[in-house]
Chains A and B, each alone.
Chain A
Amino acid sequence: AQSVSQHNHHVILSEAASLELGCNYSYGGTVNLFWYVQYPGQHLQLLLKYFSGDPLVKGIKGFEAEFIKSKFSFNLRKPSVQWSDTAEYFCAVFNDYKLSFGAGTTVTVRA
């Protein structure tokens, strides 16, 4: 079964700081990779996704993620966060017709 690990449970940072959230998965075959965001009281929204091609993918709201196949990683980054980026972030991996999620990372951005 696929396992998805997110390294940080809670990240606290100030506005304009850079953000990097780690994500590793266990399955070594072909996978589709996703990052979802859940703002307080809202539904899960797709931030970005990777299927193939350029391992650096850009998503909405200035987020990007890098797929490193040799490390089974798909880390999320944003160069300069805003207070509105306060949310919970979930890494997800699709294989074997299932979408498996990590436990999520809560990001708190202080003004």
Chain B
Amino acid sequence: ETGVTQTPRHLVMGMTNKKSLKCEQHLGHNAMYWYKQSAKKPLELMFVYNFKEQTENNSVPSRFSPECPNSSHLFLHLHTLQPEDSALYLCASSYNRGQDGYTFGSGTRLTVV
């Protein structure tokens, strides 16, 4: 275990469903991130939260809605997704702004049908 826990590990959802991904870290980090990992593409940074304030939204479609109630928890709310949104969604956390590197969770494998 990395100290960053993501649930669920796998999720299959229809295009009209609403679901949420959860990320939790017990490392005392103050910054949290959502990345999208698709095959043969660089990891795409989606959102950044620093001290539970959103500091980056990397032109992510509004069907993805993040929530960070505190520095230890991060959610990604999903609604009316498209099949091309199927990917591995990774959560990460770091101290400060991340210059020492990030600690990643194991990810949620999302399949949109």
Contact = CB atoms under 8 A, between A and B. Distances in A.
Interface of A: 4, 9, 32, 34, 36, 42-46, 49, 51, 90, 92, 94, 97-104
Given A42-B106, A43-B106, A98-B45, A103 B98 contact: no
A32 B95 CA distance: 15
Q: Is the interface of A mostly helix, strand, loop or mixed?
A: strand
B42 A94 contact: no
Contacts of B101: 32, 34, 46, 49, 92, 94, 99
22 contacts: A9-B40, A43-B2, A43-B90, A43-B105, A43-B106, A44-B90, A45-B2, A45-B104, A49-B100, A90-B43, A97-B55, A97-B99, A98-B48, A98-B98, A99-B45, A99-B98, A99-B101, A100-B42, A101-B43, A102-B42, A104-B40, A104-B42
B26 to A, nearest CB: 15
A82 B90 CA distance: 27
Contacts of A90: 43
Nearest to A4: B42
